[in-house]
Amino acid sequence: MLPKDRPLIAATLRRTLVPALLFSVAFAPQTFAQDGQTKPQEKTAESAGADVQDVAVPEEEVTSFTLDNGLQVVVLPDNRAPVVTQMIYYKVGAADEGPLETGVAHFLEHLMFKGTSNHPEGEFSKKVAEHGGQENAFTSDDYTGYYQQVASDQLEMIMGYEADRMSNLVLTDEVVLPERDVIMEERRSRVGNEPQAQLSEIVQATLFTNSRYGTPVIGYEQDIADLTREDAIAFYDRYYTPSNAILLIAGDVTVDEVRDLAEKTYGKVEQRADVGERIRPQEPEPRAERTVTLRDARVTQPSFSTSYLVPSSTTASGNEAAALDVLSDVLGGGSTSRLYRGLVIDKAIAAGAGSDYQSSALENGVFALYGTPRGGASLDEVEAATKAAIDDLIENGISEEELERAKNRVRKGVIYLRDSQTAMARQYATALATGRTIEDVDQWPERIEAVTVEDVNAVARKYLKPERSVTGYLLPETPDGSQPATPRTATGQIDAPLPAGSAPAASGMVEDNPS
């Protein structure tokens, strides 16, 4: 129920959606994948020179309309196979929770599978499985999503069930309290037993000092323990209403068919609340470089990650978001990137090194660099080489050749993304849930093409500043229990001993496979 969509410290995503990477790659590369904004897999990056026409891409335009009750419906036709995907995104996530109710958004996501006044617990999931479909749900800082993929002739069935639980959820203590225990155990197993997850929460809380992105999506243990049936119902009644949701249907459908079915199912759901504007505490401009260190006997490979506070795709000025995307690719986006080529291939001091721009957030984004030493190399060497690469880029800038190579990889990433029905649907849904538009998604390739060398150099110099960063170190304890020195000391250092079972998942998304 830990993220498949965003890095460990991401703001949304945390959290990526957006999809998905980043800080988590440095600490747990096998566990996490990014949000819908994901860059292509390495084999895609390696084939950057290939003809981009080698991928079949649906040509139908995305259509959007709004039902009388305020529900936005988005249709993405794709008739290559008789399959359809339904996604319903509620524009509420962990960053919308109150200060004493961390984890309630994720708690409610679990409870949405507990049955309604019309259908008993498990019936919806059973129907999806009977027809060979799949389903899942996830909670992020900025949105909570539910999706199913089935044969296209079952679309009315899944729309009916999903519309039903938008308004008819039934919660009793008999189902709520055991599920709260499930989440407590999830937190213990995913975080209490994972030093990298514990460190990522500390990094996240250090990077976001005022923003609600500083709290974990899964919630703090003491808050989860206090969640009640009344808390879940209040959250449901306030936020799970048609005008606060986005329904996206992708696959072998027509716009007219979706419109008819949406009016027949979701159109009957009454508007229960006026959510209003999303007003949250804002993160002030950072003023001091900070480091955090976590030591644990279970750590066998030291690693570090430096995270910078940057704007997201929603909050960036002009074309800064596209420039940050290209910068991430130049620095650490593949085997020809500066960090990978310099640290892994040329110097052979790192087992892994790279960067990631976590952009899919309503508010702040995160730009992350990471590295893990190899062989006899020390963490100091890897970090120093990473810093030297950043300093060189800031002083001398990138080349036109690097720019074009990065553009080509990002360009192909967009093409390959569009070849996946679910990934493309998630891309639009994430954008719409975080303050962007269909046009923003459609125009992203053109915005990448418009990026210049000067644009990339400008964002590097503006945002990759020490005072905007938090560096996290994950270190082993020595056999005698003594603690080796932290690789680097900076202003605002926090030396954190391992808190037994106290840190929740710091990723920006908790994705659940319903039982």
**pLDDT digit string (tens) for 221-230?**
999 999 999 9
Across 283-295, average pLDDT: 97
CA distance 327 to 367: 10
Q: Do domains 63-268 and 290-476 have the same CATH topology?
A: yes
The pLDDT score that the predictor gives to residue 449 is 94
- Residues ≥6 apart with Cβ < 8 Å to 113: 121, 122, 124, 125, 137, 514, 515
**Joined tokens for residue 294:** 């976590």
Given pLDDT bands bounded at 50, 70 and 90, which one contains residue 481? low
Name the least confident of 12-26, 90-104, 231-245: 12-26
* Beta strand 364-373 pairing with 303-311: antiparallel
Instruction: Round the average pLDDT of the chain to a whole number and report it.
Output: 85
CA distance 372 to 303: 5
Domain ranges of the chain: 63-268, 290-476
Whether residue 480 has pLDDT greater than 80: no
The single-letter code of the amino acid at 111 is L
CB 121 within 8 A of CB 114: yes
The pLDDT score that the predictor gives to residue 485 is 59
**Joined tokens for residue 397:** 């800038």
CB 202 within 8 A of CB 472: yes
Whether residue 504 has pLDDT greater than 60: no
CATH hierarchy code of domain 290-476: 3.30.830.10
**Joined tokens for residue 347:** 């110097």
The pLDDT score that the predictor gives to residue 410 is 78
CA distance 390 to 19: 26
The pLDDT score that the predictor gives to residue 418 is 79
Across 479-498, average pLDDT: 46
The pLDDT score that the predictor gives to residue 479 is 58
Across 151-167, average pLDDT: 98
CB 85 within 8 A of CB 249: yes
The pLDDT score that the predictor gives to residue 99 is 85
The more confidently predicted of residues 467 and 11 is 467
The pLDDT score that the predictor gives to residue 419 is 83
∠ CA 13-361-216, rounded to 5°: 45
Radius of gyration, CA atoms only, the chain: 22
Write down the H helix ranges in 69-122: 104-111
CATH hierarchy code of domain 63-268: 3.30.830.10
Given pLDDT bands bounded at 50, 70 and 90, which one contains residue 2? very low
The more confidently predicted of residues 288 and 50 is 288
The pLDDT score that the predictor gives to residue 8 is 29
Cα dihedral value 194, 386, 384, 393, nearest 10: -150
The residues annotated with a catalytic role in the active site are 109
Given pLDDT bands bounded at 50, 70 and 90, which one contains residue 29? very low
List pLDDT tens digits, range 295-349: 999 999 999 999 999 999 999 999 999 999 999 999 998 889 999 999 999 999 9
Across 388-398, average pLDDT: 97
The pLDDT score that the predictor gives to residue 507 is 43
Name the least confident of 86-95, 241-250, 424-433, 476-485: 476-485
Name the least confident of 114-123, 141-150, 417-426, 442-451: 417-426
453 class by beta-carbon count within 10 Å (0-12 exposed, 13-18 middle, 19+ buried)? middle
The pLDDT score that the predictor gives to residue 55 is 35
What pTM did the predictor assign?
0.84
Residue 169 bridge partners (DSSP): 116
Given pLDDT bands bounded at 50, 70 and 90, which one contains residue 508? low
H or E segment to which residue 136 belongs = strand 134-140
Residue 354 bridge partners (DSSP): 370
Whether residue 483 has pLDDT greater than 80: no
Across 13-35, average pLDDT: 29
List pLDDT tens digits, range 408-423: 987 788 788 878 899 9
Residue 509 bridge partners (DSSP): 140
Whether residue 383 has pLDDT greater than 50: yes
Name the least confident of 195-209, 231-245, 473-487: 473-487
The pLDDT score that the predictor gives to residue 27 is 31
Task: Compute CA 360 distance to the chain's CA centroid, rounded to the nearest angstrom.
Answer: 7
